[in-house]
Amino acid sequence: MEEQSMNMPLLGDRFPEMTVTTTHGEMNLPSDLEGNWFVLFSHPADFTPVCTTEFVGFQNRIEEFEKMGVKLIGMSVDQIFSHIKWIQWIKEELNIDITFPVIAANDSIANKLGMLHPGKGTNTVRAVFIVDPKGQVRLTLYYPQEIGRNMDEVVRAVKALKLSDENGVAVPANWPENDLIQDKVIIPPPKTQEGAEARLKEYEGYDWWFCYKKL
C-alpha cells in the first residue's frame, strides 16, 4: 500500500486511468472527460459537518465552473449507497441539490492518487486535482481533515490556469486583486540581452524581468 501511495500524480503527469463508480453511473477517468477541464476533489467521509459545508460550497459555485467548461467530481471511500443517502439528506434538510457526480472509491483508487490520510485510518484527505483537457494534472491542493477548503480559491485557480494557457502569461499572487499590479498579468521574461533591453519599451513594468500588461 505504501508503494502504491508513492505513485500519486505530480504536476504535469497524466491523471491515472481508472474506472470508477459514481452517483451518476460508471466513468472512465480521464478518458471520458478528454477535451474538458475537470476538478476532482476528495472528502474524508459522508455525513460529516465540514464535508457537508464543502459540498454546499462547491454546488453553490457550479455555474461558475460550468461557464468555464469545467466538470466537477467529488470522491471518498464511502460506499455508493452512503453517497446517495447523504446527497438526499442535503437536498431534504438544506434544500441544496448536488448535481455533480460523486465517486465511491476503493483503497486502490485512493492510493493511486495519494489520498489516504496518514494516521486517520481509511479516511481520504481533502485533496483537489485540477486536470486539463489533455488529462494532465495542473494543480493539486491538500488540506487536513480538520480544515475545510476555500472554494473561491479553486475557482480562481482554474480561471488563472486557463488564462495562462490561452495567453502565454503568468498570473500574480491574489490575482485579480494583486497588491502591486491589480488584475494585470505578467509577461514571461525575455531570453536574450537584446530582448531585455527592449522589454520596458514594449511593456510597463518595474524592470525588464518584471513587466506586465492588462488583458
- Tens-digit pLDDT profile for residues 121-154: 566 778 899 999 999 999 999 888 889 999 999 9
What CA–CA distances, in Å, run from 126 to 51, 56, 73, 109, 122? 9, 15, 13, 15, 13
Q: Identify whether residues 67 and 140 lie together within a single domain.
A: yes
Does some domain include residue 211? yes
Model pTM? Answer: 0.91
Q: Identify whether residues 137 and 179 lie together within a single domain.
A: no
Look-up of cell digits 482554474: 158
- Tens-digit pLDDT profile for residues 73-108: 999 888 999 999 999 999 999 999 999 999 998 877
Q: Identify whether residues 19 and 108 lie together within a single domain.
A: yes
Give the range of the structural domain holding residue 78, as residue numbers without chain letter: 2-150
- Sheet of strand 25-29: strand arrangement: 25-29, 18-22, 102-104, 70-76, 37-42, 126-131, 137-143
Q: Identify whether residues 135 and 40 lie together within a single domain.
A: yes
Q: Identify whether residues 24 and 118 lie together within a single domain.
A: yes
Q: Identify whether residues 145 and 178 lie together within a single domain.
A: no
| Residues forming the active site | 51
- The total number of structural domains in the chain stands at 2
Distance CA 165, CA 181 (A): 20
